[in-house]
Structure formats: C-alpha cells, structure tokens
Structure 1
Amino acid sequence: MVIEDIFKALGDPTRLRIARLLGTMELAVGELAQVLGQSQPRVSRHVGILCDAGLAERRREGSWVFLRQADAEGAAAPIIEAAQALLAIAESAEPAFAELCEADRRKLAAIRAARETAAEVYFARHASEWDDLRALHSPDAEVEQALAAALADAPLGAVLDIGTGTGRMAELFAGQAERIVALDKNLEMLRVARAKLQHLPTAQIELVQGDFADLPHGDASFDTVLLHQVLHFATDPAPALAEAARVLRAGGR
C-alpha cells in the first residue's frame, strides 16, 4: 500500500531530513552526503527508499544524478501531498526536528555558494571562448533562427537580455530593438560583451551587472525579455522567471 510505503520511508531521522532538504532544492547525492555528514553509499540507500515510496525523484544530467521532491501525481497524489505537508508541520511543531532542519539549511547555503562560485570561475576562465563552447551544447544557428522567427512579427521595443554572456543575443536583435540592456552577473563576461557590442550606438546598448533573481530594474520596464542558455544555471528557475515577468510590460514578450 502507498500509505504504508510512505510511512516506512519516513520512519528514519535521516530520511526525514533528506525529504525536507529536497523540498528546498534539487541536490546530487554527493551534496546530500555533504550536508548530512554521511557516506554517499549510505545516503544513496536512503534516497532509494524515498524514491521507491514516491516521495523523491531522480533526474539525470550528464554524468550527474539530481534528486528532487516528487511531484504528486495520480491516485497517490493526495497521500504524497499530505505527507509533504506533515513534514512542514512537524518542523514547526517539533523543536528538535526544526533545529536539525535549520542546521541542514545552513550547510545547504554553503553548497549554493559553492555552485555559484564554480559557475563564475567557469565563466571567467572561458569567457573569451564562450560562443564556441555554447555551440557544443546546442545548435546555435537553429536556435537563433527560431528565436528570430518567433520575434519577427513586431518591433522589440526595449529589450532586456538576461544572462547576456558574450552579448550574442543583444548583437543578434540590435537591429530590431529601440534599446537593449544586456545583463550578466559575471564581470569578465560583461567585458567580453562590451568588446563585441562596442560598434552599437551607446544610446542603444547598456551593459549592466546584476542577478537574474533580483533584477535591478523597475516593474514593467521592458517590451521584450530574453533568457537564452541561462536558466539551467539557476538553482531554482522560478525566482528568475518571476523577475522576468515583473519587469515585462503588459502585452510584452
């Protein structure tokens, strides 16, 4: 029975902590082991039990396997949702469990910071060759043609290019835009973009350092918002998408 499997899976302190952590963000087994202070094989066994019970899901990304809280679907959905809600209630009602969860989240913050640092180091190291590297992961010409076709039916107006990288999207759509703000978190990438875009009139292009989860722009500031090969670097894409929607004008794209 589903209910029996779920309660058996949650009948262990480590699995309770894992379930709460996966409700926060996707994590690899190694990252979970780092937070929990346990070996990867031991954590893998706990994760397997949670997955078998329908409380967690695996997602492969290259050679990495990421784990996330399961989406409640099908006939078992109400039971899974109730179990997830019960964990949240337990944390608010049980001081000892709450203390464990809070300590785990502090360690999780260090993992978030390490991920961001690794991405920034990677960008800084490969900024000058980033356009070539992008082509290894997706067919740039096809992607650019599809984007151009999707945006060809109307003027772009004011454009925000989030995660501009080397400035390729800004360069591609400069002829259709009134002005473009090219935003990136990494200063080295912005330096490369500045060199690529220096032929554009200064009134048309602005390069800005900023975080896609906390855009330095007011509400309804742009007619078009671009996110190209960016969201996979977000721990959680939802805040970045919410920020993109916030700065987009009504009827924008």
Structure 2
Amino acid sequence: MKSNDILKNIKALADDTRLRLAYILWHYELSVNELVGLLNMGQSRVSRHLKILSDAGLLQARRDGLWVFYKAVEEGENKEFLSSIFSYLSKDIQNDLDVASRIIEERAIKTRQFFNSIADDWDELNKEVLGAFSLPLEVQKSVPADCDIAVDLGCGTGEVLDKLLEASGSVIGVDGSQKMLDLARRRFTDNIAKLSRLSLRIGELDHLPLRDNEASFACINLVLHHLSEPKIALSEIERVLAPKGILFISDFLQHKEEKMRSNYGDRWLGFSKESLENYMQELGFKIIQYETQKVKMGLQLHLLIAQKS
C-alpha cells in the first residue's frame, strides 16, 4: 500500500465515531437507519461519517430500493489495513457489536412474527405473485430420480413438500415459523402414508437442524430475500447436502417494488444473476441449469439448479 493511501485511511479513521462505524461494519452489514439507532446520532451526522469512510475506500454501499446498506470492504489492501488496525482495538468497543448483534436478532424476530401473523393467508399471497406458474411442479422436476432424502428450507405451509414426497423417499421441511409448520402438518393429516415419510423441523436457516451431508436434494424457494445474510444460509445448505447433491433455488430478480417489503416482509428486493453465481462459486457449487420465469406484478424469478462438488 502506498504511503498516501495509508495516510488517507488513517485520516478517515482518526475519529472515534468513524472508528466505531468501521469496526461495526467489519462484522455486520447494516442500513443507515439501523446505524442511526445503534449510535444514537442524527442521520445527517452518521451519513457524513459514512461518506468519509466510503470515499477512503474502507466501506462499500449496497442500494436496495430506497434502502442503503453499508459494510466494510471485503477484499484488497484496504481489507488488510482494517484487519491490522482492528487487531489492536481494546474490548471496550465490544459493546457496539453486542448492540449490532441484537439488531440482527430483532430482524429475525420480526420476520418470524410476520410469517406467524400471515401464515393462514400465505398460499393466497403467493398466488398474487406467482399467478398461474406452479413453483412446486418446477421444484419436483429438478429432483434426481434416485433421491432418498429431500429437504425444503423455508417450507412454509407445505405446497412444495407435497410434490417432494412424490419424488423422494423421505422429506424434511424446515421453517422458522411454528404456525407455518402447523399448517404444513395439517396439509397431510389425512394422508398417513405421506406423513410417515415427512419430518417437520423448526429452525433458522443460518443454523439448520440437519446433520452434515444429510440430504441428497435441497430447495429454497422465495426465501433468500427474507434473510439478513443469504450467503450464510447457502453455506449451511452446502453443509447439509451430500457430495454431488442437488440444490434448487428460486428467488426474485432484482427489482424496485418497495411494497414487497411491507406486504410480504421482504428484506432484499431480489438479487442479480451475478450475485447468485458468485455465491455458488464461492461455496463450490456448479450451476447446471439456469433460467428466468416471469410472474405477476412485473416480477421475474431466478430458477437455478446447482450441484455440490
């Protein structure tokens, strides 16, 4: 790193608030409003500090509709610079990380509460978006012929589970909403044969209640955009999939429909194809099929099938 770059970085961090911000964003990606609450400062002041750090190349911003999220740079000399600086910080700054961790947990709690509250209407809400497109059938077509254990992550009320049971020996459904799981179980009450091959498990997608290499097929449908850290969930999926296991992902292409946040509890307004491909590459998946599907409300879906190495 050139001396001028070192001086620029030191100058950017030569303020207690900016040092705190950089340290927080080294560990978490947070929105401007979340940082305002965490630091208990006015938005204009926080934004000014964020701009100085960004201009120095120490932070990167991600705009998602009307929201802007910040995190520390993840590669290059500036990442190495921050890493060396933070190794000398005392533990008195740890309180900021504790608060930030609670913010992330509150996100998960709000998402869980949202899905519990709309569980009874979820199937109808899905139809408002998907229209005549049958996502369960699309998932079923991607299940390998010799699949012994399939898992649906964020299984909701069980529409996809029903089709997976027709294509796999046994099926595991995971969801963070107990109300959703109750409705999924009710779907199979009168079909003991299917229910006997179904395991419904409550759990968060960043810490899946499955063993390493337990499933030969996994799907995650219209779920990633609800998560704070989609990459963590995908990393967990890689863990629970057996070698050569198949992963099916469906989610929205990047869009600007802000009402999806309030009406459907979305945290991300979709993803670019490049971002999904990067996730797959980093986790060692090989993409074997990719296409898009137009649905209602001017939205489109990624339909991606990948194989674990």
With structure 2 as the length reference, what TM-score do the two structures score?
0.70
More divergent stretch after superposition (214-223 vs 39-48): 214-223
Alignment RMSD, CA only? 2.4
| CA displacement at 1:70 relative to structure 2 | 2.2
Q: Does 1:11 align with 2:14?
A: yes
Q: Does 1:189 align with 2:213?
A: no
Q: How many residues align?
A: 241
| Aligned partner of 1:105 among 89, 97, 116 | 97
3-state DSSP of counterpart to 1:216 = coil
Q: Does 1:176 align with 2:164?
A: no
Q: Any conservation in 2 of the 1:23–1:68 contact (CA below 8 Å)?
A: yes
| CA displacement at 1:20 relative to structure 2 | 1.0
| CA displacement at 1:30 relative to structure 2 | 1.3
Q: Does 1:36 align with 2:29?
A: no
Partner of 1:67: 70
Find the aligned partners of 1:66 and 1:136 in 2 and give their Cα distance: 29
**Structure 1 residues 158 and 183, CA, compared in 2 at 3 Å: closer, same or farther?**
same
Find the aligned partners of 2:127 and 2:67 in 1 and give their Cα distance: 21
Q: Any conservation in 2 of the 1:20–1:87 contact (CA below 8 Å)?
A: no
**Structure 1 residues 13 and 24, CA, compared in 2 at 3 Å: closer, same or farther?**
same
Q: Does 1:53 align with 2:30?
A: no
3-state DSSP of counterpart to 2:244 = coil
| Amino acid paired to 2:30 | L
| Aligned partner of 2:119 among 127, 130, 137 | 127
| Aligned partner of 2:26 among 23, 39, 48 | 23
| Aligned partner of 1:81 among 79, 82, 85 | 79
With structure 1 as the length reference, what TM-score do the two structures score?
0.84
CA-to-aligned-CA distance 1:173-220 (integer Å, 9 cap, x gap): 221111111111111111222233445422222211122222223222
Q: Any conservation in 1 of the 2:30–2:69 contact (CA below 8 Å)?
A: yes
Find the aligned partners of 1:229 and 1:26 in 2 and give their Cα distance: 21
Percent identity among equivalent residues? Answer: 29
Structure 2: segments with no counterpart, 5+ residues: 247-309
**Structure 1 residues 127 and 103, CA, compared in 2 at 3 Å: closer, same or farther?**
same
Structure 1: segments with no counterpart, 5+ residues: none
- Larger proportion of strand: 2
Find the aligned partners of 2:113 and 2:208 in 1 and give their Cα distance: 22
Q: Any conservation in 2 of the 1:163–1:183 contact (CA below 8 Å)?
A: yes
| Amino acid paired to 1:182 | G
Find the aligned partners of 2:222 and 2:122 in 1 and give their Cα distance: 12
Q: Any conservation in 2 of the 1:25–1:235 contact (CA below 8 Å)?
A: no
Find the aligned partners of 1:147 and 1:205 in 2 and give their Cα distance: 17
Q: Does 1:214 align with 2:207?
A: yes
More divergent stretch after superposition (192-201 vs 37-46): 192-201
Q: Any conservation in 1 of the 2:26–2:71 contact (CA below 8 Å)?
A: yes
| CA displacement at 1:16 relative to structure 2 | 0.9
| Amino acid paired to 2:209 | P
